[in-house]
Structure 1
Amino acid sequence: MVLDKEKIRESLTENDIELILLDLGSDKPKHDSKDNLIFTTVCHGGHKHKLYYYNETKLFHCYTDCSESFDIYSLVMKAKKQQGKDLTFYQAIQYVANLTGKHYSADSTLQKAESNLINDWEWINRFKKKEKINPVLPKYDTKVMDIFIHKPHELWLDEGISYETMKKFNICYYQREERIVIPHYSIDGDLVGIRSRALRQEDIDAGKKYMPLYIENRLYNHPTIYNLYGLHKTKEAIKRLKKVAIFEAEKSVLKCEDYYGEDNFSVAVCSSNISNYHRDLLISLGVEEVFLCFDKEFENHESEEAYEYAKKIMKFAQKFAPYARVYILWDEWGLLELKDSPADKGREVLETLMKRKYEVGTISEVAI
């Protein structure tokens, strides 16, 4: 059973909150003039009654060192961290459920402040348990990179990807085939594949715009379902910020590098699919927020085409919903053109879409 974080949080009584806070090490609560509960500051290990709980909003606020607001799950994670134990977001949900006895299973929802994107979710499939796969990625000799020209191509410079970023991700040029070279590395930095972007119009017209490189009778391909582009460079930001933005293509990761530098928490799946392995890899890094930033594949956001595409994206959201807060970037305002990535129109547009994101609720009966 997958737990519904919203149902559990909304059902918590003040007695439940007191039970949880006492278990986290707080002293007995006091009350303010409006009868709000006031606990000792377990969020940072203090001893003053400065941690207020507001039952109406189900939120805490620390009026001393933290000066932050928390929901119950964020507070549990922060308090446990003070005690030397790191909990994932889903472990925090389990902790609250086990302590209070409220094991509500989840229903599928997509929420926004004023409207729902799609109202009928009966199409959602139930996943069956599968054996875990231990993938073996190829490991290529990095000497192959010596045959390329290690200079950025003007096409991507014109698109706003800097020389520094292309150098950092080892983007090169293969003069013989007239292709931009995009090496792929594992999370540990091993060369596992080499993809390329065609510059010849005949290759693009033939459907060979992006494809693995074939060099001296060897195809430098790899199973993209077992690797995430850019993760070897962005993993530290992902672990530090506890969030990840998942794009389709490599260029989006490169653009985010120019937008955010050391705070770049993006990766690319290099396909139109998110695998269970992708999910498990990211969750293992402590991710608590997931942003699905897939390309725009519809002209009209109210069309049947958009509806079918939304179903596909929601299936990806299902994979993460039991473990993290999941958001979908969905363009209803014509900020993007057809086939655009949310990162293609600049930082301002990307951040606008981030602010207008949809949150996806937990999904019931999803096998882990």
Structure 2
Amino acid sequence: MALDKDKIKESLTEADIKLILADLGSDLKLADKMIFQTVCHHGSKHKLHYYDDTKQFHCYTDCGENLDVYELTVRAKKHQGIELTFPEAVKYIASLTGKYYSADTALDKVNSHLISDWEFINRYKKKKQINKELKVIHNRNVFQLFSPYGHISWLNEGISHETMRKFNISYYLRDDRIVIPHYDIDNNLVGIRGRAMRKEDVESGRKYMPLLVGKTQYNHQTMLNLYGLHKTKDAIKRLKKIALFESEKSVLMCEDFYGEDNFSAAICGSTLSRFHVQIILSLEVEEVFLCMDKMFHDPDSKEAEIYAKKIMKFANMLSPYCTVYVLWDDFGWIDYREAPCDRGRKVLEDLMKAKYEVKTLNEGAIV
């Protein structure tokens, strides 16, 4: 269930505020005047005033700021040695006061027609299995044409030299593209993609393309493969979970975030195929995290609702077999077209903590 932070805050009575401040460790000797000890910066003075008409606190000492109850909670908990995210602060206030008001996000509004486990499985089995195999590229001499050093733009985004070497990332000066080799789960080279660095290539829709060297195009069907599994499959099997991103860059970022615990892979596009699903199920995972790029500006817009329908279709392909979570940005932590990891590890983990669980029909709706 998504909580409506505004409804919860507006519903708080003075008695609720006193309860919250007491739980945060404030001395309540002036509480009848709605004046509290300055827990916002771990102070001892009673200079923290609460104004019910604005639902705001004001600290008249070190902070000198207006704070709402959620920001106050985050700061007070931090001084207690507890790192609390904004969504966790909302849940804390709701739990403490019993003020649970749900918010209808785009994911909640989508009538996704979730189906039961058996109905989905029967439908899935009725489809004729198509045997498709990726062609292996045996001649790897082409790598001699590339610079073995990573591009400065990716270094600036936090992808280390070590990670780029591990995934064999290089650079093709002639075409001005970052070279991204693709391997199957058994470490066979199956394709090479290039990330364009020229502005005109990016603006013309050729940002990610199969690499063309001379007359040879190193293309492959991305729908048949998940990028990064040749390096992350051990962590995925050990942890029994997989985080699915859209681009290769996200997998590389997660490698620097988590190292041997990197359980990510990329679909290399914006479509989850049934071949991807087969690969995921073969890994015997118990949890899947859909970490798709943010393709909406306003979380309450029609644009967001349309995108939510697409994400729910992906979720429904997996939910009969494992627990599926969707990372959905209700708080404006990332920008339009950004991936959940683009703003760093902390934002990614905040989104993980605020994730939505998708359940099949016999279990209930989104929670």
Question: The TM-score by the shorter chain falls in which range?
Answer: 0.5 to 0.7
Kindly provide the amino acid, as one letter, of the partner of residue 313 in structure 2: K
> What displacement does 1:308 show?
0.5
Is the CA contact (8 Å cut-off) linking 1:328 and 1:360 kept in structure 2?
yes
Q: How far apart in 2 are the matches of 1:340 and 1:122?
A: 24
Secondary structure of 2:315 counterpart: helix
Secondary structure of 1:310 counterpart: helix
Aligned residue in 2 for 1:278: 276
The question of 1:201 aligning with 2:199 is answered: yes
Secondary structure of 1:343 counterpart: coil
Aligned residue in 1 for 2:109: 119
| Match 1:187 to one of 185, 188, 197 | 185
Aligned residue in 1 for 2:266: 268
Kindly provide the amino acid, as one letter, of the partner of residue 295 in structure 1: D
Aligned residue in 1 for 2:151: 153
> What displacement does 1:200 show?
1.3
Residues 226, 363 of structure 1: CA spacing in aligned structure 2 closer, same or farther, 3 A cutoff? Answer: farther
Is the CA contact (8 Å cut-off) linking 1:318 and 1:363 kept in structure 2?
no
Aligned residue in 1 for 2:40: none
Residues 340, 320 of structure 1: CA spacing in aligned structure 2 closer, same or farther, 3 A cutoff? Answer: same
Kindly provide the amino acid, as one letter, of the partner of residue 274 in structure 2: N
Kindly provide the amino acid, as one letter, of the partner of residue 255 in structure 1: M
Deviations 1:247-269 (A, max 9, x none): 00000000000000000000000
Kindly provide the amino acid, as one letter, of the partner of residue 268 in structure 2: C
> What displacement does 1:130 show?
1.5
Q: How far apart in 1 are the matches of 2:213 and 2:361?
A: 45
Kindly provide the amino acid, as one letter, of the partner of residue 121 in structure 1: N
Is the CA contact (8 Å cut-off) linking 2:181 and 2:193 kept in structure 1?
yes
Kindly provide the amino acid, as one letter, of the partner of residue 305 in structure 1: E
Residues 180, 121 of structure 1: CA spacing in aligned structure 2 closer, same or farther, 3 A cutoff? Answer: same
The question of 1:301 aligning with 2:302 is answered: no
Deviations 1:71-118 (A, max 9, x none): xxxxxxxxxxxxxxxxxxxxxxxxxxxxxxxxxxxxxxxxx9944532
Moved over 2 A (4+): 112-117, 122-129
Aligned residue in 1 for 2:136: 139
Kindly provide the amino acid, as one letter, of the partner of residue 251 in structure 2: V
Q: How far apart in 1 are the matches of 2:208 and 2:217?
A: 14
Q: How far apart in 2 are the matches of 1:142 and 1:286?
A: 32
Is the CA contact (8 Å cut-off) linking 1:321 and 1:363 kept in structure 2?
no
| Match 2:326 to one of 325, 328, 349 | 328
Kindly provide the amino acid, as one letter, of the partner of residue 119 in structure 1: K
> What displacement does 1:142 show?
2.0
Structure 2, unmatched stretches of 5+, are 1-99, 363-367
Q: How far apart in 1 are the matches of 2:131 and 2:179?
A: 28
Deviations 1:296-318 (A, max 9, x none): 00011110000000000000001
Q: How far apart in 2 are the matches of 1:343 and 1:220?
A: 28
More helix by percentage: 2
| Greater relative CO (CA pairs within 8 A, separation 6+) | 1
| Match 1:319 to one of 307, 317, 320 | 317
Q: Which has the larger radius of gyration?
A: 2
Q: How far apart in 2 are the matches of 1:212 and 1:190?
A: 17
Deviations 1:49-92 (A, max 9, x none): xxxxxxxxxxxxxxxxxxxxxxxxxxxxxxxxxxxxxxxxxxxx
Structure 1, unmatched stretches of 5+, are 1-111
Is the CA contact (8 Å cut-off) linking 1:322 and 1:363 kept in structure 2?
no
Aligned residues: 253
Secondary structure of 2:109 counterpart: coil
Q: How far apart in 1 are the matches of 2:216 and 2:135?
A: 12
For residues 59-74 of structure 1, what are the structure 2 equivalents within 5 Å?
none
For residues 2-81 of structure 1, what are the structure 2 equivalents within 5 Å?
none
> What displacement does 1:349 show?
0.1
Residues 139, 205 of structure 1: CA spacing in aligned structure 2 closer, same or farther, 3 A cutoff? Answer: same
Aligned residue in 2 for 1:338: 336
Is the CA contact (8 Å cut-off) linking 2:228 and 2:265 kept in structure 1?
yes
Secondary structure of 1:151 counterpart: coil
Residues 348, 189 of structure 1: CA spacing in aligned structure 2 closer, same or farther, 3 A cutoff? Answer: same
Residues 246, 113 of structure 1: CA spacing in aligned structure 2 closer, same or farther, 3 A cutoff? Answer: farther
Residues 363, 284 of structure 1: CA spacing in aligned structure 2 closer, same or farther, 3 A cutoff? Answer: farther
Aligned residue in 2 for 1:255: 253
Kindly provide the amino acid, as one letter, of the partner of residue 315 in structure 1: K
Kindly provide the amino acid, as one letter, of the partner of residue 214 in structure 2: E
Q: How far apart in 2 are the matches of 1:324 and 1:228?
A: 18
Residues 249, 120 of structure 1: CA spacing in aligned structure 2 closer, same or farther, 3 A cutoff? Answer: closer
Q: How far apart in 2 are the matches of 1:198 and 1:188?
A: 27
Q: Which 10-residue stretch deviates more, 280-289 or 307-316?
A: 280-289
TM-score (norm 2): 0.66
